[in-house]
Amino acid sequence: MSNEIKNSGVISLKIIKDRFDIKAAILRELEKIERGTLISEPELALRAAGRDKYRFRRTVENNEEEFRSRRIKLRLDDTGAKWYWGWPEDIIEAQKIRDL
């Protein structure tokens, strides 16, 4: 917590949203992703929800339809398939390549 919050006893609604609105945090982080690149789900979860991976998972599950166009499951090595996130256009292209 910042000194600003402790000392004044008043907090901005933005601080609450930044801490608890994981859906908005996911969307903000996805906007930062460079076109033509994908981010692994563990990295996105860390950036959007910090250590609260369960809140991230619940948010994804509760917004599955909305996030469908932003994620793809890829098997890039022998460790198994993993989820990656990106721009919808990049996900479509990755799906085409994967499904050849």
Q: What is the pLDDT of residue 9?
A: 83
Does the pLDDT at position 63 exceed 90?
yes
Please give the CATH number for the structural domain made up of 11-98.
1.10.10
Q: Return the pLDDT at 4.
A: 52
Report the DSSP beta bridge partners of residue 25.
none
Q: Where are the chain's structural domains?
A: 11-98
pTM higher than the cut 0.85: no
Candidates 74, 11, 21; CA nearest to 48 is 21
Would you list the DSSP string of the chain? --HHHHHHS---HHHHHHHH-HHHHHHHHHHHSPTT--EEHHHHHHHHHTT-HHHHHHHHHHTHHHHGGGEEEE--STT--EEEE--HHHHHHHHHHHT-
Q: How far apart are CA 71 and CA 33, in angstroms?
A: 13
pLDDT in tens, 4-41: 555 678 888 888 887 889 999 999 999 999 999 999 99
